[in-house]
């Protein structure tokens, strides 16, 4: 049987960071594991367009697969046939390879690619319990963020070594920083934002104090403005008359005064008041 190289279609939007890692793994798997060639005629049902696999075929292929890499190669190779129920094929491997961190990690990625983030985390957690890897931990960060489970984002970030944290791209780092803000770990959020800023050699930004003083023309004028706005904040009708710029500036002043909790509550209340029709329940 002539081997046809695995070809990906459009990269899923959820997997842009992870796809290069996975494609490199697939390439090495097909090159060195070679169960596709070994099974020869027995494997051809996998790329028979328009036909799903029968249970008996899956059972036979599973019997002929002696290690996790064998079943992974079969699952990856089968992706060129859209008629196959790939989830059924992936789950079929659990009967034999449920103690393989490598298999569970890849199953977690399968679910992540398909937007089933709860399922992804379920199998990634099982993978972590056996062996921690950079790929699986960074994938868990992304899946947790997609579910707005911000405490899990920080838990998985904490499990990464300092060296592995440097491998995360800006998007994942921003996810961690945003999660830190939601969990009121503002120092961590600021540290990450600064690291991304330095890594990209971006021009230095003015400090919050410099920005506010420039906006008001000095600390005294800012204090006078805050005193006037404070009078409006406790009354919904008067608060509604304030512009969005004024409301955001007020939050910035609170942060300048190290009142981060109050600033966060203020922004969340404004979000509900001004954008309640856009906020999902």
- Give the tens place of pLDDT for each residue, 109-139: 999 999 999 999 999 999 999 999 999 999 9
- Identify whether 74 is part of a domain: yes
pLDDT at 267: 84
| Residue after which a domain boundary falls, among 78, 113, 147 | 147
Q: Is the pLDDT of residue 76 over 90?
A: yes
Does 131 share its domain with 49?
yes
- Identify whether 79 is part of a domain: yes
Does 143 share its domain with 19?
yes
Does 111 share its domain with 226?
no
- Identify whether 120 is part of a domain: yes
Does 143 share its domain with 32?
yes
| Residue after which a domain boundary falls, among 98, 120, 147 | 147
| Residue after which a domain boundary falls, among 131, 147, 163 | 147
pLDDT at 206: 75
Q: What mean pLDDT is reported for the chain?
A: 86
Does 125 share its domain with 42?
yes
Does 21 share its domain with 106?
yes
- pTM comes to 0.70
pLDDT at 280: 44
User: What range defines the domain where residue 25 resides?
Assistant: 15-147
Does 52 share its domain with 121?
yes
| Residue 3 CB contacts under 8 Å (≥ 6 apart), including other chains | 30, 36, 37
pLDDT at 48: 60
The count of structural domains within the chain is: 2
- The span from the CA of 233 to the CA of 250, in Å, is 10
For the chain, give the percent of residues with pLDDT over 90. Answer: 48
- Identify whether 170 is part of a domain: no
């Amino acid at each position: 049987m002539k081997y046809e190289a695995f070809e990906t279609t459009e990269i899923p939007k959820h997997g842009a960071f992870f796809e290069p890692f996975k494609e490199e793994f697939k390439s090495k798997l097909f090159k060195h594991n070679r169960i596709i060639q070994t099974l020869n005629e027995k494997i051809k049902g996998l790329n028979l367009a328009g036909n799903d696999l029968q249970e008996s075929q899956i059972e036979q292929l599973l019997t002929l697969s002696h290690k996790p890499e064998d079943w992974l190669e079969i699952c990856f190779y089968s992706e060129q046939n859209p008629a196959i129920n790939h989830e059924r094929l992936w789950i079929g491997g659990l009967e034999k390879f449920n103690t393989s961190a490598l298999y569970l990690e890849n199953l977690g990625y399968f679910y992540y690619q398909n937007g089933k983030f709860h399922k992804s985390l379920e199998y990634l957690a099982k993978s972590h319990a056996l062996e921690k890897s950079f790929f699986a931990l960074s994938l868990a960060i992304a899946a947790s963020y997609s579910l707005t489970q911000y405490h899990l984002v920080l838990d998985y970030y904490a499990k990464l070594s300092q060296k592995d944290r440097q491998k995360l791209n800006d998007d994942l780092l921003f996810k961690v920083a945003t999660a830190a803000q939601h969990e009121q770990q503002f120092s961590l959020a600021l540290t990450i934002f600064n690291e991304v800023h330095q890594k990209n050699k971006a021009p230095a930004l003015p400090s919050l104090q410099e920005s506010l003083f420039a906006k008001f023309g000095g600390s005294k004028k800012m204090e006078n403005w805050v005193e006037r706005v404070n009078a409006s904040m406790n009354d919904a009708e008067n608060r509604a008359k304030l512009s969005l710029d004024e409301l955001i500036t007020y939050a910035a002043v609170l942060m300048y005064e190290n009142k981060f909790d109050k600033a966060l509550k203020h922004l969340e209340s404004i979000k509900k008041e001004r954008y309640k029709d856009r906020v999902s329940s």
